[in-house]
Structure 1
């Protein structure tokens, strides 16, 4: 609490020193302008001349619907003077040349219009006509409106970006923001149990992309920098911008790019609006959970309403609320990994059944006051909450015990004389809360525009998890001998005595863990942007400058009560422990791939038993492990704070055919962590003798200069070329900077000593995990080029290439050291693990996009349209300090990504079939030092790298609109029940295979 007060005090000081004088000035100026504008400027119809004033402004709308048009181009014929409409369809020219002029208004998918004006300024209201009105029932609504808005915003952007816009009913055919982003080129998503969660831009891992809400920083509910976008429903947004070449007025922490989510505004709609939708959901269940879990009725509902009010409609408000419940089961095969002894074979097989309930609730409220056209004060708020309860029963057969080797081995088969069977019972209850509040003011004083705001964002995750493990006692391992067959993809591990493996009485409770904790992140941000319009002779230009200050803290605090069969003087025989029998859950069908779990457990029943103190306090059956409990009170905890001070200057010049954007951003980052250093003597069993905890305060600071230059060439009105040179950074993750330093060691018995050095001293072995506050941030120099051809009646084709030269990528390095002294002890072997900056990485890519409404086709076929994009990406990292000489790609970077959609819209009907694909990506790199024997046998170390497998999904959606305001909707997600899969070395050696099923939605919406 004291830290929060300190930050509030610090923010208030910033407010008093910088924001308050500006607000006073703005208020005074606004009052003066209100007085001066008691008589409003006359509205001027199309083509009517206007009196000479200093500027020209107005609004462009759709003639048919009255909706504002975003990204409309307005150009003064024969000059370099241009303007683009904003999200409310508004435009402004600061100053125009004297004399009669022709204003050309163009918008892809609409007919170009010319408006004659005389010497400057006044107000224009312009309505554009769709270029497809002559086709009858093909209208610019729904999917087409969304596509055309997106294409026009891409065309008019000064930098390289993609835009996804909601339809006029404020809806996207996606269940969260993460899934909406995968429609555009170079973007892929990472899924969790069948739902999109994290976004990757151009193959760059999610923690290296910047995510903002209305251009303000969002706190993250995860324990990393990555922002989970499954928290944000699509019902609250108006558009999503994926920026691939950032400008100096944007955050520098964007190696892959930046994602900005814009919420709805009452001033972007011509009249009050009300939108409501309700969907029923049928989820195909992967396993039969009767008696294991109860499935609640899944559904999705949302309501959004907005209105302008007041005598002059100077107030605006939008409120949106939504709720989504999805209950489903998952079937998971999760082998631990593959070992090598003449041939590869799996170490074990895990067969999981899981019941999941995911509930997401969100509410957003935006308020705005506009005393004049040039002044506004706004408050934007968001609260979203996700609760997930998962009940997991995991049966596991392990073959390789105590270094045993396979017997009777062939290339695809073998057996082990001993085996181990485990049943893990896990219950997790995690609640994520995200709050975001932004108060700001936008103003224009002649040629000067200002945007000043302050933001507070908080992310809080609450954990309440429980797990327990049953296992057959060591004395019974020969009775659980196992054989394997790796010939089929879903390999087989089967007990030679199935009847013994199926007896729940042989499985005894080995341990229990009750874990609670929080992940808390607070973000305080203050930003000021100023823009000054001017002319350099006949060349329109503007200068923009400003700064941003952000104070960010991340605290991860977890605690575990651990129970085991031994602690101190208590040593319970396995045979005397609690057995699985009272909680046994019979399995009636094999899991995916035909594998049979020989036992399962009722998680709910076991949880009730475990939470009864009478059972956990019975030291004849189980005992509290005080040492493990004490260690896990510190393990993986974080306490980090970070401040970023940034300033920038950028200039934009509009030549007749070319627009140039150049500037410099400077960011100063300071970090501080206060974390534990944990030293554990594994030979001691009592916590007082085994555990030593120290506090480690670590600091780091660095300054980055980020210059950029971008050029946009309008070769013809509908043919654009772009080139960009930008520089961005990626800050190290919190755990990489200051993970809890842990030092474990154990003395060797004399008969186990292999080292003849220092015979009079005790010999040890151990491992040390070190924090690294001195990590340098990733630094990327980015080069982009693109060619874009736009079709006047809608659609476009674009091709672009990019290259990134990335310095200081971060990898975890393990270094085994032999025959050394450390902390006063002599070690035969001591392994150090630490995150270090590796050598340079290079990333090269090609992106192609094509979007075309097929309005030129005859008859009913002119309602068709197609959209497709793909990206080819290749990267290489220098890991010479990791003793890897082969080509290693960047972590979580897919080599190719494609998305395609075929849609149809006519006479109220909309249909859309979409597919999305991403190739494999690397998740962990094997250390050659861990596989010395395998390397001597001629096996490449890359055979032990871990990958996420390729994934291709298909979605089908449709709707029918009737009586203008009502719509019936239907959707099928994951049409082919595509698995989430990972593998080791080769795709045939899977080490995780998850199925979560198809989802069927049927609902209705109305909009007024």
Structure 2
């Protein structure tokens, strides 16, 4: 990849130089003119909130209006709602916003959990915390996330952003832009999330805020501390510096009950009713008729019943040291010219400990068929094992994630022009130092498994025993889950580190001009160039000891296994402590203790390899994605039948070049020949199958680079009509939007087979083929339109409804075979199995929202406020199908219905807030390894917060999250629980103080 030049870097430099030249010229002109006009009111009216230079301090400090009169700004929840509605009104397209109620006082613990309050936004959770969001049913990887107009990066080749990396204390405002404008950076099929942090010159004077809290989780039973510092120092009226840092020692945990997957092994209930319908054999009504079918097994499986594959318990813990920090220097050089430099650093250093105890019953031979009980939905509800396997597994790993963002920019504005320049570097780095230790055993009979109506398994080991091959009736050799002597087959240590890095360098220049026109309010044009590089690497080595196998001329015995485990286990926590699971568990058990286990395995094997000793294994990749974008946008305003009409029309052009470098293996197969060179044939005279010739000149093992490119034009239009001035607005918008593929899907890693046999030359069979990534993937593309009616009965209230359609005419689907592809760009043609672009899916939906403060009511009811929103969505022509039944599936990550309810009370000293978030079931994966689609069950989460504010600026508060004790659960169909995770309830007590 070193040969592949970042061609856009020269363009980046040119853009920076152009911006600097423009800055110099404008500064000279400004000095000559000495303009006293800081901004034109006409421009200010049409600019979005992201474009304003200065916003009043929201701390409740005193300020002066244009007449010199003292003004007291409102702070708190009411202020947040007022400012959020202002941002929505001033937005150039369809958007909703959240504003911090005070410095460092965002209402939720992280950005993702705050975003879930916005209509059309649906939250996904991990370890009880919100980690990612979808917008209008579109998955997280197809959203554009920017921090102060700079791209935020994901991990592991994904474009999805984990919002747990952003502490909410850093945030001033969040904008969720669901429509589109030409000025917006491409990348958001679902929408764009813009995160805005505070700038020092928003403050009139020096400022200091401190906060601290203790977080208590009733599952973990310990307190996690968290502290925040926000400081602003004003050197003078023009120069200021802001530092904001949040640090925490955060512990999270899940207790999990799983079946892993559900598969079909036999027709246990012997009923005439089918379990599922295979589209090719839908007309077969009797299983006996399947004997004459083209695929008898596929036909017969229509009557086979669903059985759990691996019932298991898990206790997964994360101890994290988190730090989110931001520093910004802002300088107002002249009345017209300002600049800034900012740096944001987020890190999560995690120590992870995952305990798992598994019961392997994924085979017809592992279950006693006479014991099986099946329900009316053809799901197994009871069975006893015959030859089951059991694994006691502990994963212990350090998992470090770091993101950084460095940006510098300037803004020049006079009475007709506004010029903005920005350069930035964003990075994301992830390192997972994974250590997997486990002990296994086989041949366990007599374990009783009962599954309730949900499919939740309950195990009874009390009658479990080792099968005696010489006497099947002998049940005396009992299995004990906590006895090292019961793990009789294997002990293993697997070391599998992983690392990935991403870096994006970006430069942009935006120019706004106010023409002398009664129709055009502003003209905008701009250029953005970026270069994104992504790399990853995996390492691995194993120490395995199987009882009965020979190592270094010595047979590994059962006693050797016992010796490794004895004294190297520890007692786990009690499973599902504080939660009524509905079925019994093993309570606690003795799990493999990683450190002493690894130590003895290294001693026995005489292998003491460190990470530095390991080579990168095949399959790593690196990519460079260079993007150049130009746009032009015209904002306009006109009076139509005495009603104000305003909006914008624009076009964005994007050109993308991809350089993908990865591991390639080309295997050459030749005819089998005798010593005289004659091709060998079978008894029917047919050539024998070819054999690999690793020394053939066409054979290749190494790395290759493939370069691809594409370009796209993205038009957009947004129209607003003021049916009632400043109160009732009709909005219509339409746009073409795009999102680049995940970099992990663009890899060139390939295993290819070249056939030089006589049969392949004469019959074109078998054909040269590859299994590979796909650097030639085109972007996700969608045409979208929306109509909305927004009513603002007061400045703090809204009642709104919108209907939207998103036609995704290009999106990436799972691996399929393309024929006669010049994959390496060298003229050779291959049949390549890889991810490809599909088309046809349409998302449509309805959003409703209402919020208000009840200031028109008498005290104390005038201090009440609330908000409610509801989203209904549907998808059509998704192109994903149930692999078992052929039925079309819904769009991944999309819940059909979702809603939020929020109520609050706020007076001079007390404020209270309660919020409930609900979303319907949604598709998590189109299929697991058994072919079942996997859904996340519907769930609702209740959070609350109570604050008391003293007159001296001190606040104390208490809050609670997941007060109703919701769990995250997944299913593979009705009554087929795949995974149930309990993460506990969390409570916090804290204070904040500002001066």
Task: Note the 1:18-167 alignment, pairs <5 A.
Answer: 18-34=15-31, 36-37=33-34, 41=36, 57=39, 82=45, 86=49, 124=66, 140-167=74-101
Alpha-carbon distance between aligned partners in 1 of 2:753 and 2:777, rounded to the nearest angstrom = 24
Conservation of the 8 A alpha-carbon contact between 1:199 and 1:206: yes
Q: Aligned with 2:964: secondary structure?
A: coil
Conservation of the 8 A alpha-carbon contact between 1:395 and 1:597: no
1:418 equivalent among 387, 394, 408: 387
Conservation of the 8 A alpha-carbon contact between 1:870 and 1:897: yes
Instruction: Pick closer, same or farther for the CA change 1:405–1:435 going to 2, 3 Å.
Output: same
Q: Which residue of 2 aligns with 1:633?
A: 617
1:339 aligns with 2:263: yes
Shift of 1:446: 4.0
Shift of 1:703: 0.7
Task: Note the 1:395-544 alignment, pairs <5 A.
Answer: 395-401=357-363, 404=366, 406-408=368-370, 409-411=372-374, 412-472=381-441, 474=442, 477-479=443-445, 481-487=447-453, 489-495=455-461, 496-497=463-464, 500-502=479-481, 503-508=483-488, 509-536=490-517, 538-544=518-524
Conservation of the 8 A alpha-carbon contact between 1:356 and 1:391: yes
Q: Aligned with 2:373: secondary structure?
A: coil
Shift of 1:950: 1.6
Alpha-carbon distance between aligned partners in 1 of 2:897 and 2:557, rounded to the nearest angstrom = 51
Conservation of the 8 A alpha-carbon contact between 2:816 and 2:836: no
Conservation of the 8 A alpha-carbon contact between 2:54 and 2:201: no
Q: Which residue of 2 aligns with 1:969?
A: 957
Conservation of the 8 A alpha-carbon contact between 1:208 and 1:253: yes
Shift of 1:664: 0.6
Alpha-carbon distance between aligned partners in 2 of 1:125 and 1:18, rounded to the nearest angstrom = 42
Q: Which residue of 2 aligns with 1:901?
A: 902
Shift of 1:196: 1.1
Q: Which residue of 1 aligns with 2:274?
A: none
1:706 aligns with 2:708: no
Alpha-carbon distance between aligned partners in 2 of 1:639 and 1:552, rounded to the nearest angstrom = 11
Shift of 1:389: 1.3
Task: Note the 1:598-609 alignment, pairs <5 A.
Answer: 600-602=589-591, 605-609=593-597
1:494-541 Cα offsets, whole Å, 9 max, x none, are 3432751333322154322112232100100010111111132x3342
Alpha-carbon distance between aligned partners in 2 of 1:546 and 1:845, rounded to the nearest angstrom = 33
Alpha-carbon distance between aligned partners in 2 of 1:880 and 1:905, rounded to the nearest angstrom = 48
Q: Aligned with 1:582: secondary structure?
A: coil
Instruction: Pick closer, same or farther for the CA change 1:57–1:729 going to 2, 3 Å.
Output: closer
2:244 equivalent among 308, 317, 320: 320
1:999 equivalent among 957, 975, 986: 986
Q: Which residue of 1 aligns with 2:941?
A: 953
Shift of 1:648: 0.7
Alpha-carbon distance between aligned partners in 2 of 1:609 and 1:680, rounded to the nearest angstrom = 40
Instruction: Pick closer, same or farther for the CA change 1:87–1:887 going to 2, 3 Å.
Output: closer
Instruction: Pick closer, same or farther for the CA change 1:625–1:301 going to 2, 3 Å.
Output: closer
Q: Which residue of 1 aligns with 2:570?
A: 585
1:260 aligns with 2:191: no
1:381 aligns with 2:343: yes
2:161 equivalent among 207, 227, 231: 227
Task: Note the 1:855-874 alignment, pairs <5 A.
Answer: 855-874=855-874
1:618 equivalent among 601, 604, 623: 604
Shift of 1:597: 3.5
Q: Which residue of 2 aligns with 1:753?
A: none
Alpha-carbon distance between aligned partners in 2 of 1:269 and 1:588, rounded to the nearest angstrom = 50
1:454-506 Cα offsets, whole Å, 9 max, x none, are 1111111122111112101x4xx044655444446423243432751333322
Q: Which residue of 2 aligns with 1:749?
A: none
Instruction: Pick closer, same or farther for the CA change 1:452–1:875 going to 2, 3 Å.
Output: same
Shift of 1:317: 1.4
Q: Which residue of 1 aligns with 2:468?
A: none
Q: Which residue of 1 aligns with 2:278?
A: none
Conservation of the 8 A alpha-carbon contact between 1:83 and 1:91: no
Shift of 1:149: 0.5
Q: Which residue of 2 aligns with 1:786?
A: 788
Conservation of the 8 A alpha-carbon contact between 2:367 and 2:387: no
Conservation of the 8 A alpha-carbon contact between 1:587 and 1:597: no
1:287-311 Cα offsets, whole Å, 9 max, x none, are x8xxxxxx6x51111011124323x
Q: Aligned with 2:260: secondary structure?
A: coil
Alpha-carbon distance between aligned partners in 2 of 1:339 and 1:21, rounded to the nearest angstrom = 62
1:548 aligns with 2:528: yes
Shift of 1:885: 5.5
Q: Aligned with 1:794: secondary structure?
A: coil
Instruction: Pick closer, same or farther for the CA change 1:882–1:168 going to 2, 3 Å.
Output: closer
Alpha-carbon distance between aligned partners in 1 of 2:992 and 2:173, rounded to the nearest angstrom = 20
TM-score by length of 2: 0.80
Conservation of the 8 A alpha-carbon contact between 2:165 and 2:347: yes
Conservation of the 8 A alpha-carbon contact between 1:501 and 1:598: no
Alpha-carbon distance between aligned partners in 1 of 2:253 and 2:327, rounded to the nearest angstrom = 34
Q: Which residue of 2 aligns with 1:839?
A: 839
Instruction: Pick closer, same or farther for the CA change 1:160–1:1004 going to 2, 3 Å.
Output: same
TM-score by length of 1: 0.79
Conservation of the 8 A alpha-carbon contact between 1:81 and 1:540: no
Conservation of the 8 A alpha-carbon contact between 2:853 and 2:865: yes
Instruction: Pick closer, same or farther for the CA change 1:786–1:221 going to 2, 3 Å.
Output: same
Q: Which residue of 1 aligns with 2:672?
A: none
Alpha-carbon distance between aligned partners in 1 of 2:769 and 2:862, rounded to the nearest angstrom = 67
Alpha-carbon distance between aligned partners in 2 of 1:306 and 1:598, rounded to the nearest angstrom = 52
1:695 equivalent among 699, 703, 717: 703
Alpha-carbon distance between aligned partners in 2 of 1:32 and 1:598, rounded to the nearest angstrom = 77
Shift of 1:373: 2.1
Instruction: Pick closer, same or farther for the CA change 1:678–1:802 going to 2, 3 Å.
Output: same
Conservation of the 8 A alpha-carbon contact between 1:968 and 1:1004: yes
Instruction: Pick closer, same or farther for the CA change 1:589–1:234 going to 2, 3 Å.
Output: closer
Query: Structure 2: any 5+ residue segments left out of the alignment?
Result: 56-64, 268-304, 375-380, 466-477, 669-693, 820-830
Alpha-carbon distance between aligned partners in 1 of 2:925 and 2:48, rounded to the nearest angstrom = 46
Alpha-carbon distance between aligned partners in 2 of 1:358 and 1:915, rounded to the nearest angstrom = 27
Q: Which residue of 2 aligns with 1:69?
A: none
Q: Which residue of 2 aligns with 1:210?
A: 144
Shift of 1:427: 0.6
Shift of 1:404: 4.9
Alpha-carbon distance between aligned partners in 2 of 1:674 and 1:348, rounded to the nearest angstrom = 38
Over the aligned positions, Cα root-mean-square deviation in angstroms equals 3.9
Query: Structure 1: any 5+ residue segments left out of the alignment?
Result: 42-54, 59-73, 93-122, 131-138, 289-294, 682-687, 746-756, 818-830, 932-940
Q: How many aligned residue pairs are there?
A: 870
Structure with greater contact order relative to length (CA < 8 Å, sep ≥ 6): 2
Q: Aligned with 2:89: secondary structure?
A: helix
Task: Note the 1:214-363 alignment, pairs <5 A.
Answer: 214-285=148-219, 297-310=223-236, 313-340=237-264, 341-342=266-267, 343-363=305-325
Instruction: Pick closer, same or farther for the CA change 1:244–1:563 going to 2, 3 Å.
Output: same
Conservation of the 8 A alpha-carbon contact between 2:510 and 2:527: yes
Alpha-carbon distance between aligned partners in 2 of 1:715 and 1:454, rounded to the nearest angstrom = 41
